[in-house]
């Protein structure tokens, strides 16, 4: 395909070769300046006037999108040469009298102060290698990566798996993969992920008409809508009949290999939506809500920022002197320290009881049923029905279909015994057989998340956290009806308090309803990295639970 004159090509920036990047940056600079000169005022505006906002808007000929991308590169590219040159191009455009964008918000997460996240350009060698891998593969260093990098070992496994699912050889064509990602993220109204994959879908040649709604996509993808819906909200309802409908619908049928690929993508993006909301991931700088062309007000806080998602929380909640009153601060700190000490004491007592006596199988089963029943009544005071935003809801059908607890309205779902169908003994081999290497990649990712530990709890070191990690994982599986015969579910109530359970259930079942208040209210003395670690457990436990129900149905269809 012939390049249009003046078209901006970004591909060369993903090269690890500095000379290739320099050539690409020169071409980008020339193309941007040519476009800018066609709309710039006759005489360049002095920078003093630019500061007053008396500049020409950059909306014509797609220039605003190009400038937003340059802003993103100047802040988020792991290669210093690209950051510096992008900033220089923006400055030159501003000198021509054209308004340039500025970032909105504070860093990759709305829940974690920017100064406590890894700053691009200040990362260590291992993190830089991960950032460079992510950028050269995706063409961006996204906010999910910048929060996950609190745990580099996990991030490496996550990026490797996602790269394989989206870009390596596999049963599904590339544009189908991104469209399935859009369908999955849209079930939770996750505009962050939808926006990323809309761009990727178009980049790999996807038909823009499909983005007008699921009814405009091929019938084969429309048929996947029902499975997407159940996997996201009520996976325990999936039967072999649902699988049969997909595999035997004449000309629109799925092959088993294609279906496995689709199921892994759906579960990956449902759980990634949980992470996105659970960690308060901010919009990407170059996406809607991540930047503005409006000049900052004198106070550096402008009403237009509110509409773009930045609420100036730090300014609003600070006391007149700019600090929290000492008495309140000390009281909260003391309460939080007591919370950590109490949790460690409970872990110690549970270990001692376990060493002394073991509950009978009947008692263990009773405790599971009690915990499963109680999990239905864990809900937030902020739990309200929210209508999906129109632009996201068009990507899926039946927008009223959401998470429902098992026995609401008298519905009963049998307990799923992990001993009868487990990831290790059944799911892993089925995925690996039909979609080679993916079973191995998923298995590695599950194990890293489950076993990840730094032997710390808040300010305490040399702590064995395995009991706590197992309680979190098993509580999530319990909410999905999955029972481990060898686990004492009485431990969950001892280790997870109500505010933590509310957070877990919201992030896993209705992530779009997660709030900063929920994030702040559990484990108040713990580090943000520890709360991100909790989210990794939630992501992987949820993904595995969804996979188990889908893979069990596929196995039953095959036998």
Which residues are marked as active site?
190
DSSP class per residue in 221-280: HHHTHHHHHHHHH-GGG--HHHHHHHHTSGGGPPPHHHHHHHHHHHHHHHHHHHHHHHTT
Give exposure, 472-501, as e/b (b: 16+ Cβ within 10 Å). bbbbbbbbbbbbbeebbbbbbbbbbeebbb
**Enclosing H/E stretch for 318:** none
DSSP secondary structure of 359-415: --HHHHHHHHHHHHHHHTT---TT----PPPHHHHTTSS-TT-----TTGGG-----
Q: Which two tokens stand for residue 408?
A: 């609401």
Q: At a CB cut-off of 8 Å and minimum separation 6, what does 138 contact?
A: none
- What is the 3 state secondary structure string of 474-535? HHHHHHCCEECCCCCCHHHHHHCCHHHHHHHHHHHHCHHHCCHHHHHHCCCCCCHHHHHHHH
3-state secondary structure (DSSP) of residue 464: coil
Q: What distances in angstroms separate CA 251 from CA 172, 220, 225, 504, one per listed residue?
A: 16, 9, 17, 42
User: Whole-angstrom Cα distance, residue 271 to residue 275?
Assistant: 7
Phi, psi angles (nearest 5°) of residue 102: -135, 155
d(CA 472, CA 234): 20
Contact 91, 35 (CB under 8 A): no
Q: Which residues pair with 292 in a beta bridge?
A: 102
Q: Do residues 6 and 31 touch, judged by C-beta distance below 8 A?
A: yes
Q: What is the rounded CA–CA span in Å between residue 504 and residue 408?
A: 20
- Do the bridges between strand 416-417 and strand 482-483 make them parallel or antiparallel, or are there none, so unpaired? parallel
Query: What CA–CA distances, in Å, run from 533 to 113, 344, 450, 517?
Result: 17, 18, 10, 18
Q: Which tokens hold the place of 412?
A: 């009963």
Burial class (CB in 10 A: 0-12, 13-18, 19+), 342: exposed
The secondary structure element, H or E, covering residue 457 is strand 456-457
Which DSSP string do the residues of 416-455 spell out, in sequence order?
EETTTS-IIIIIHHHHHHHSTTHHHHHHHHHHHHHH---S
């Amino acid at each position: 395909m012939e390049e249009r004159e003046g078209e901006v090509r970004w591909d060369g920036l993903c090269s690890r070769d500095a000379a290739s990047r320099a050539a690409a940056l020169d071409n980008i600079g020339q193309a941007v300046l040519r476009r800018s000169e066609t709309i710039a005022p006759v005489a360049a505006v002095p920078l003093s006037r630019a500061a007053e906002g008396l500049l020409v808007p950059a909306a014509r000929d797609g220039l605003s999108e190009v400038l937003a991308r340059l802003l993103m590169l100047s802040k988020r590219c792991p290669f210093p040469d690209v950051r510096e040159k992008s900033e220089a191009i923006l400055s030159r455009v501003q000198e021509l009298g054209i308004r340039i964008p500025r970032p909105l918000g504070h860093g990759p997460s709305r829940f974690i102060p920017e100064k406590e996240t890894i700053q691009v350009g200040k990362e260590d060698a291992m993190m830089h290698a991960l950032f460079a891998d992510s950028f050269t593969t995706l063409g961006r260093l996204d906010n999910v990566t910048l929060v996950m990098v609190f745990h580099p070992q996990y991030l490496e496994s996550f990026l490797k798996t996602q790269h394989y699912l989206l870009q390596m050889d596999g049963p599904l064509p590339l544009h189908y993969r991104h469209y399935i990602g859009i369908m999955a993220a849209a079930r939770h109204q996750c505009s962050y992920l939808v926006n990323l994959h809309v761009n990727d879908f178009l980049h790999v040649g996807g038909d823009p008409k499909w983005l007008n709604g699921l009814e405009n996509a091929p019938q084969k993808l429309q048929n996947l809508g029902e499975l997407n819906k159940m996997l996201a909200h009520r996976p325990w309802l999936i039967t072999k009949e649902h699988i049969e409908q997909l595999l035997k619908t004449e000309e629109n049928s799925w092959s088993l290999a294609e279906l496995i690929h689709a199921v892994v993508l759906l579960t990956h993006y449902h759980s990634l939506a949980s992470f996105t909301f659970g960690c308060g991931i901010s919009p990407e700088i170059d996406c809607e809500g991540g930047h503005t062309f409006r000049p900052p007000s004198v106070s550096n806080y402008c009403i237009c920022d509110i509409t773009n998602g930045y609420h100036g929380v730090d300014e609003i909640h600070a006391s007149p002197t700019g600090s929290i009153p000492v008495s309140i601060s000390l009281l909260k700190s003391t309460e939080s320290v007591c919370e950590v000490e109490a949790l460690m004491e409970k872990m110690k007592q549970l270990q001692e009881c376990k060493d002394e006596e073991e509950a009978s199988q009947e008692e263990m089963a009773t405790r599971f049923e009690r915990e499963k029943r109680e999990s239905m009544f864990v809900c937030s005071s902020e739990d309200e029905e929210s209508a999906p935003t129109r632009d996201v809801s068009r990507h899926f059908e039946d927008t009223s279909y959401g998470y429902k607890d098992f026995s609401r309205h008298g519905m009963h779902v049998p307990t799923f015994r992990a001993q009868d169908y487990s990831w290790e003994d059944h799911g892993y081999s089925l995925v690996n057989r039909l979609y080679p290497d993916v079973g191995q990649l998923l298995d590695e990712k599950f194990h890293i998340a489950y076993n990840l530990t730094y032997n710390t709890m808040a300010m305490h070191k040399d702590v064995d956290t395995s009991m706590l990690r197992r309680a979190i994982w098993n509580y999530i599986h319990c909410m999905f009806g999955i029972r481990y015969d060898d686990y004492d579910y009485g431990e969950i109530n001892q280790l997870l308090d109500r505010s933590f359970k509310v957070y877990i259930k919201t992030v896993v079942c209705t992530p779009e309803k997660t709030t900063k208040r929920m994030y702040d209210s559990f484990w108040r003395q713990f580090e943000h990295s520890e709360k991100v670690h909790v989210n990794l457990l939630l992501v992987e436990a949820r993904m595995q639970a969804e996979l188990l129900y889908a893979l069990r149905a596929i196995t039953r269809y095959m036998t």
